[in-house]
Structure 1
Amino acid sequence: MKLIWILALVAGAPQAQEFAPVVNRIAVDGCFNQALRDTADADCIGAASGVCMEQSGGYSNQGMSACTSAETELWDGYLNREYKGRMATITADQKTALRTAQRAWIAFRDAECGLQYQMFIDGTMRSNIYTGCMLDMTARRALTLRDLGGM
C-alpha cells in the first residue's frame, strides 16, 4: 500500500481541472457602447459573465467568481480608458477634481464590496457577492466616466 502512495506522489496525483473563464469581449463592448447615455444603469452589465457561467464548471462558486471577475477586468479597461481620456481633455482644476473623485470612488467601491463580503462571511456565496459588487460598481463607473461632462 505504501508503494502505491509513493508512486502516486512521484507521478503526481490527479488534480481537479481548473475552470478557465471565457467572457465574450464583443458582448461587453456592445454593452458599453449601447448603454443609454447619461445613465450608469445598464441591464446588460453581467450578461457576458452569465454566458460564461454556462460553460462546464461555470456554475460552481469558483466558476461564477471567475466569470464575474473576468467581465470586471474588461469593464476596468473601459474605466481606465475613459478616465485617461477625460484627463487628457480637461482643465487643470477639472483634473484635480476628477482625480479626487476617482480616488474617493475607488475607496468607496472597495469599502462597499468589502462590507458586502463581510455580511456573508459565513456563507459559501461570499466571494460571488464580492465579485458581483465589483463588477456592478466598476461597470457603472465606466459608464459614468464615459458620459462625464456630456462628452
Structure 2
Amino acid sequence: MAALVAGPALAQDDMVFDDSIVGRCVQAAADAGAAEACIGKAADDCMTRNPGGESTYGMNFCIGQEAAVWDGLLNAEYQRVMASDKEIDAQTKADGYGAPELAPALKAMQRAWIAYRDTTCTYEASQWGGGTGAGPAYAGCMMRLTAMQTLYLRDTGPL
C-alpha cells in the first residue's frame, strides 16, 4: 500500500488580506470613473503579498475576499438608497403626487441585477471548460460586477 505525502499546502489562515484597501481607495476617488480603478486592488495586493497568492487557491481566496468586501459595501449602499427612496415615496404620497414609487422599482432592479450577475459569472466561468481557471474567473466576475453595482448605487441613488 502506497502512502501519499502532500507538499506544504496553503491554508486560508496563512493568507493575508487587507480589506481596508477597497474602502480607502473608494473614499479617495472623486467619482465613479475614478472609483472603478479600485476594483481588484485589494485582490492584487493579496496575490502579490502572499506566497502562493497567484496559485488557483490563492487567486480564489484573494478575489473572493475582495468580492466579500464589495458585497458588504453593496448591501450598505442598497440599504441607504432604499431608506431614502421610502422617505421620498412617503413624501410624494403625502403631497398627493401620483409619481411611480421608487422603493419597489429599486427592489425589482436589484433582483434583476442579481440574476444578471449570477448568469453572467456562470457564463464567464464556463468558458474555462471545467478547468482550474473557472474558479478565479467566476470569483473575478462576481467581484467586478458587485463592485460596479456598488458604485452605481453610490453615485445614482439619492444622497
Match of 1:9 in 2: none
Please tell me whether the aligned partners of residues 31 and 44 of structure 1 are also in contact (alpha carbons under 8 angstroms): yes
Question: 1:15 Cα deviation (Å)?
Answer: 7.3
- State which drifts further: 97-106 or 124-133: 124-133
**What residue in structure 2 maps to residue 62 of structure 1?**
57
Are 2:94 and 1:79 equivalent residues in the alignment?
no
Q: Do residues 117 (structure 1) and 125 (structure 2) align?
A: yes
2:146 to 135, 138, 147: 138
What is the percentage of aligned positions where both structures have the same residue?
38
**Whole-angstrom distance in 2 between the partners of 1:141 and 1:36:** 17
Alignment pair present for 1:29 and 2:23: yes
Greater shift, 124-133 or 103-112, is seen at 124-133
| Cα distance change on mapping 1:53 and 1:14 into 2, 3 Å | closer
Partner Cα distance (1:25, 1:79) in 2 = 15
Aligned CA-pair RMSD:
2.4
The Cα shift of 1:38 comes to 4.6
Task: Quote the residue 1:18 is aligned against.
Answer: 11
Deviation at 1:122, TM superposition (A): 3.4
> Mind listing any 5+ residue stretches in structure 2 that lack a counterpart?
90-100
Q: Structure 1: how far apart are the matches of 2:106 and 2:158?
A: 15
Report deviation, 1:145. 0.7
SS of residue paired to 2:132: coil
Residue 40 to residue 130, structure 1, CA distance change in 2 (3 Å): farther
Aligned length: 143
Q: Note the alpha carbon deviations across 1:28-67, whole angstroms, 9 max, x for none.
A: 1022223342548611210111110120121110110110
SS of structure 1 residue aligned to 2:65: helix
Match of 1:42 in 2: 36
Structure 1, gaps ≥5 residues long: 6-12
Checking the alignment, whether the CA contact within 8 Å between 2:78 and 2:153 is kept in structure 1 is yes
User: TM-score, normalising length from structure 1?
Assistant: 0.83
